[in-house]
Amino acid sequence: MDTAFSSEDLKFQSDVREFITNNYPKELKESIGAKRKTGKELSRDDLMSWHKILGKHNGWSAPGWPKQYGGAEFSPTQKYIFEQECARAECQYIMPFGVNMVGPVIYTFGNDEQKAKHLPGILSGDVFWCQGYSEPGSGSDLASLKTSAVKEGDHYVVNGQKTWTTLAQHADWIFCLVRTNPNAEKPQQGISFLLIDMKTPGITVRPIKLMDGSHEVNETWFDNVKVPVENLIGQENMGWTYAKFLLAHERSGIAGVARSKKALERIKQIASTEMSYGEPLIQDPAFKSKIANAELELNSLEYTELRTLAKDSAGKGPGPESSLLKIKGTDIQQMVTELAMEAVGYYANPHLGTTLSNEYVGPDYATNLSGSYFNFRKASIYGGSNEIQRNIIAKMVLGL
């Protein structure tokens, strides 16, 4: 048993650190920083420019992809180091929809033309993807989805509505689960996986405002949208298999250990600035013990993730254990956003960056902390709610 980094790992770590120092654009850091302080939303460029820089560097925008598809093919240890370093430097995180979700589906189940057409754009960050899974009537029960795709000649005609489409307002393409056989014996058997160009006539995107006021998700409507048959991934009616594969990949990245660690570090700093009972808040025994509690959970989760990574490197892909990472990872993210909100006391109240006022008040580090708390209630709901994750573990791991 050995978790010490080898000399190659240490070299890799310093390479990553150096690359970030030399290449993470100062303007991007400032632009994102300024928007954070004023509660403004990030633009497509803010979201994608770091991805684009990584995309030009040995496939670093896709750490887990095989080299043959242009990825970095990092070892589990390298992936871990890379994430740690990006979090440490507070780099803008990479949008998961292309790299972690549809990319692996395309290179695993797609044909050569699809790989050639789509993988380069995902790697480079020039093409922005979004996910068309959930529907108003199909949340946790995803297989009940109704959006239909009817084959007419060399096209599918798609009709229906997707919802919670994250950042669809920026997206060039959407990957969708659609019903191609409404008469299948089981609902899972009539589903196909389609790639759809967002510029196709008949697609309408409408914003959904979340409780923190952010525009992060959308409704996406399909009205007689014509999708060429060559955009079908794998076989017709086999989409559920690809969807499950994708969900396991989605969950494995979802623990967010490195980011939560960084956030906890910052909360400790805030708590040593904020005062309570005439002393820095960090001296308050109740607050201290909440911090320590979150830290212990995080330490444990870090090693749970490392154990999973070590198993992955032994050749097994992410399995149902990734549900555990999702449950604990999102638990901790919620713990952390709550602690941050709590740390700033009254300055959790101001809602900055709205159209109602141009005033900016309070310490800059307090901006939008309550917003993050409210926003992150989503984490235990998305990607398969944490109750669904427990059902998965009960069935797949415990055999109940």
* Contact string 92-131 vs another protein (x = CB under 8 A): -x--------------------------------------
Residue 221: strand pairing partners = 161, 204
Is the dihedral angle over the CA atoms 168, 20, 59, 74 positive or is it negative?
negative
* Cβ neighbour number for residue 363 with a 10 Å cutoff: 12
Q: For another protein, what does the binding mask look like between residues 204 and 243, x meaning CB under 8 A?
A: ----------------------------------------
Identified binder of another protein from the candidate list 269, 349, 354, 357, rule CB under 8 A: 269
Per CB under 8 A, 139 contacts another protein: no
Convert residues 333-372 into a mask of x (bound to another protein by CB under 8 A) and - (unbound): ---xx--x----------------------xxx-x-x--x
Q: Kindly tell me which residue out of 299, 349, 354, 357 binds another protein, with binding defined by CB under 8 A.
A: 299
Binding residue (CB under 8 A) for another protein from 124, 151, 297, 385: 297
Q: Give the interface segment with another protein, choosing from 20-28, 135-143, 165-173, 383-391 (CB under 8 A).
A: 383-391
Question: According to CB under 8 A, which one of 14, 111, 140, 300 is a site residue for another protein?
Answer: 300
Determine the Cα–Cα distance for residues 52 and 125; give it in Å rounded to an integer.
Answer: 5
- From the list 167-175, 221-229, 234-242, 262-270, the region that binds another protein by CB under 8 A is 262-270
DSSP annotation of 161 reads: E
Q: Is 291 in the site for another protein (CB under 8 A)?
A: yes
DSSP 135: B
The CA R_g of the chain, rounded to the nearest whole Å, is 22
Q: Binding to another protein by residue 322, rule CB under 8 A?
A: no
Measured between alpha carbons, how far is 122 from 235 in angstroms, rounded to an integer? 22
Burial environment of residue 283 by CB neighbours within 10 A (0 to 12, 13 to 18, 19 or more):
middle
Among 19, 213, 295, 377, binds another protein (CB under 8 A): 295
Q: Can residue 328 be called a binding residue for another protein (CB under 8 A)?
A: yes
Q: Of 272, 349, 354, 357, which one interacts with another protein (CB under 8 A)?
A: 272
Contacts of 166 (CB under 8 A, 6+ apart): 97, 130, 131, 216, 217, 218
Instruction: By CB under 8 A, tell whether 377 contacts another protein.
Output: no
Measure the CA dihedral 159/162/165/171, to 10°.
0
Q: According to the binding rule CB under 8 A, does residue 280 interact with another protein? A: yes
How far apart (Å, rounded) are the C-alpha atoms in residues 354 and 343?
A: 23
The smaller minimum CB distance to another protein, of residues 11 and 206, is found at: 11
Distance of closest approach, residue 65 Cβ to another protein, in angstroms:
20
- Answer for which of 37, 117, 146, 151 binds another protein (CB under 8 A) is 37
- Joined together, the tokens standing for residue 135 give 């529907």
Residue 250 designated active-site: yes
First to last CA, the chain: 32
CA torsion through residues 391, 393, 394, 396, sign: positive
In 3D space, the residue among 290, 291, 269, 289 whose CA is nearest the CA of residue 280 turns out to be: 269
Distance (Å, whole) CA 95 – CA 101: 10
**How buried is 71 (Cβ within 10 angstroms: 0-12 exposed, 13-18 middle, 19+ buried)?**
buried
**Applying CB under 8 A, which of residues 157, 205, 210, 306 lies at the interface with another protein?**
306
DSSP string, 109-122: HS-HHHHHHHHHHH
Query: Of the residues 83, 250, 274, 342, which is catalytic?
Result: 250
User: With binding defined as CB under 8 A, does residue 310 bind another protein?
Assistant: yes
CB of 121 or CB of 280, closer to another protein: 280
The answer to whether 25 and 45 have CB atoms below 8 angstroms apart is no
Q: How far is the CB of 292 from another protein (least distance, A)?
A: 5
Report how far residue 386's alpha carbon sits from residue 320's, in angstroms, rounded to the nearest whole number.
Answer: 13
Q: Is 86 in the site for another protein (CB under 8 A)?
A: no
Tokens at residue 256, please? Answer: 């967010």
**Whether the Cβ atoms of residue 248 and residue 317 lie closer than 8 Å to each other:** yes
Under rule CB under 8 A, how many of the chain's residues touch another protein? 65
Q: Does 268 bind another protein (CB under 8 A)?
A: yes
Footprint on this chain of another protein (rule: CB under 8 A): 1-5, 9, 32-33, 36-37, 76-77, 80, 90, 93, 263, 266, 268-273, 280, 282, 288-289, 291-293, 295-297, 299-304, 306-307, 309-310, 324, 327-328, 336-337, 340, 363-365, 367, 369, 372, 376, 387, 390-391, 393-394, 397-400
Active site residues: 250
